[in-house]
Structure 1
Amino acid sequence: MISWLAKRVIQAVAVVLAMTVIVFIGVNVIGDPVAVLLPPDATQDERLRVIASFGLDRPLWEQYLSFLAGALRGDLGRSFVFSEPALSVILQRMPATLELAIAAMLLAVIVGVPLGLYAGVRPNSAGAKAVMAGSILGFSLPTFWVGLVMIMLFSVQLGWLPAGGRGETAEFLGVRWSFLTLDGLRHLALPALNLALFKISLVMRLVRAETREVVPQDYIRTARAKGLSEGSVIRTHVLKNTLIPVVTIVGLEFGSVIAFSVVTETIFSWPGMGKLIIDSIHLLDRPMIVAYLMVIVVLFVLINLIVDLLYTVLDPRVRLEN
């Protein structure tokens, strides 16, 4: 266990280090942030002063080494726009994005797993066919279009739910959360559902496929021959053996939901990291873009590590060393 964990930590550090090179160089060779930040009538002296204050007059390799030294101290640079540490600005927005991502993935699991299990156990029923047809719609409909339709229907026409914003929040463990208030939950409902639709379809189809593979196995027939009820067979044997690939997908998709919630956050004016990165790209705020991408890299690495650890909990036959 310890040797496996040590190897994974070394691999994680190597991945993060490689990504610092790719992200920093990729971001810093695109565009001219000074041209965006200064007015068109700015003098050459003003341009040179701003370039020097941002450290953009130094060679790229020197800028990277300075960034790497700061990153080891937890300093990912200072935002050009906010004039604050980029990591600090991102951490202020992170709870909103995490809240939205967790709500979306909970919806995906709570809705997708039972429906996928039902479609796998009764594949020829009318309900199973309707479920699979619905999953195709979930894959096919663009997120931005579904979000706009939701706003038009539930906010404009029916007036049931607010169209944007985070609503009223309450503090817990020093962080403001929307799900702790009724108004916050009303604001969370539409963006979470919009973000979850694709994931619900994905989990549903995955669980159905795994269930279809598990049901014909000998140990399922043995469990039924012992006189176990159908519900007990499904809960104890079928469901448990379909969870390993589901855990993998849910873990990876949770990272993707955090990283790519940009569209949903923009449509619903949700003040999270996705909306922040869009604004930063428009203004070519390089430190903010680099810091955001590095935070996402670290999150993906941690999520992969947690998923590997969960394998042994769900299936003792899986050994970490293997």
Structure 2
Amino acid sequence: MQALLVVFAMTLIVFMAISFMGNPVDIMISPDADQADRAKAIAALGLDLPVWQQYLRFLGGAIQGEFGRSFVFNEPAIGLILSRMPATLELAVTATLLSIVIGLPLGLYAGLRPDTALAKILMGGSILGFSLPSFLIGLFLIAVFAVELQWLPSTGRGQTAPLFGIQWSFLTADGLRHLMLPALNLALYNIALIMRLTRAGVAETMQAEYIRFARAKGLTTRRIVFVHVLKSILIPIVTVIGMEFGITIALSVVTETVFAWPGMGKLMIDSIGVLDRPVIVAYLMISVLIFVLINFLVDIFYTVIDPRADLGAAE
């Protein structure tokens, strides 16, 4: 019920915000067009109705999975978004996997050996992951690996191969080469976040009484870390990974624009440029649904990690 209320509230917020962005007719119609042509175009797009009527029409269509037709492409907006979704999901999943594979081990090392020079370098370097904007990092990666070293391509998705009727880049060598730079650029912030979160969790957990008791029983450091410590810090890490995955999808617009990656984010930027309202609203609503779904799945996954978690508790 909370998820449904959140989605309903976001439909109102998103639609009203988009409605006051500007008049798409000013971009789509020639400045030399007379008032009759403008009025005809406005009526054809349904923009002659009061905003509340436009919202009710939008809400009725959204309940049926319809978000209107694109003003520019004259195609269903939801179809345009879904056609670009595989590219964005592929990029976001790859970036999330990179953040886990890189950030978690480095955070464990920094937490277990906090006084070593490497741990201090890692923690200092993680600050750059938070501080530098993603577009600047993306341009730096292109300048180094694509322009200077010429190891990896800088734009596009490369060759794709079908799987379950959908084209994917990771199934081809050329597609993987095109995927590496944008995925790494998108993952750097999450790598720094997971690294610091893991390091803090390990440092706190290693001082707990049950860890000292496990050491007194003669358990090996490997068993203590991977059975007791990692299990204790897993819930906050899973929460962050889940939330950051949704954020990664929603905020992939910058990376997709820098690397000309043909995903939902690139379509969103192009649609904003021409005030293609149905596409913008469809993208934002799909992003909201992804956030709500991820939050729901993370809550359910809590009980898998820790069966003592009571999701239905009053407190």
TM-score scaled by length of structure 1: 0.96
**Alignment partner, residue 214 of structure 1:** 205
1:167 positional shift: 0.3
**Alignment partner, residue 170 of structure 2:** 179
1:134 positional shift: 1.2
Amino acid at match of 1:80: F
Determine if the alignment matches structure 1 residue 199 to structure 2 residue 190.
yes
1:1-322 → structure 2 map (5 Å cutoff): 10-322=1-313
Distance 1:58 1:89 in 2: 25
Amino acid at match of 2:32: D
Distance 2:162 2:273 in 1: 32
Amino acid at match of 1:244: I
Amino acid at match of 1:11: Q
Distance 1:21 1:230 in 2: 53
Query: What is the identity percentage for the equivalent residue pairs of Structure 1 and Structure 2?
Result: 60
Distance 1:175 1:204 in 2: 34
Distance 2:8 2:25 in 1: 28
Distance 1:29 1:129 in 2: 49
1:130 positional shift: 1.1
Distance 2:134 2:47 in 1: 38
What SS does the aligned partner of 1:302 have?
helix
Distance 2:13 2:278 in 1: 14
1:57 positional shift: 0.6
Q: What runs of 5+ residues in structure 2 fail to find an aligned partner?
A: none
Amino acid at match of 1:123: P
Amino acid at match of 1:107: L
- The total of aligned residue pairs comes to 313
Distance 1:291 1:243 in 2: 34
Amino acid at match of 1:125: T
What SS does the aligned partner of 2:150 have?
coil
What SS does the aligned partner of 1:124 have?
coil
Amino acid at match of 2:108: L
Amino acid at match of 2:163: F
Amino acid at match of 1:117: L
Mean Cα displacement is larger for which, 136-145 or 94-103? Answer: 136-145
1:59 positional shift: 1.0
What SS does the aligned partner of 1:254 have?
helix
1:279 positional shift: 0.5
What SS does the aligned partner of 1:57 have?
coil
Return structure 1 stretches of 4+ with deviation > 4 angstroms. none
Task: String of CA shifts for 1:70-96, please: whole Å, max 9, x gaps.
Answer: 111110111101100100000000110
**Alignment partner, residue 4 of structure 1:** none
What SS does the aligned partner of 1:251 have?
helix
Distance 1:14 1:50 in 2: 35
Distance 2:303 2:216 in 1: 28
Q: What runs of 5+ residues in structure 1 fail to find an aligned partner?
A: 1-9
What SS does the aligned partner of 2:72 have?
coil
Q: Please, what is the CA RMSD of the aligned residues?
A: 0.8
Task: String of CA shifts for 1:214-256, please: whole Å, max 9, x gaps.
Answer: 1111111111112111111111111111111000001000000
What SS does the aligned partner of 1:176 have?
strand
Distance 2:127 2:61 in 1: 46
Amino acid at match of 1:121: L
Task: String of CA shifts for 1:242-301, please: whole Å, max 9, x gaps.
Answer: 111000001000000000011110000000011111011110001111111110111000
1:174 positional shift: 1.3
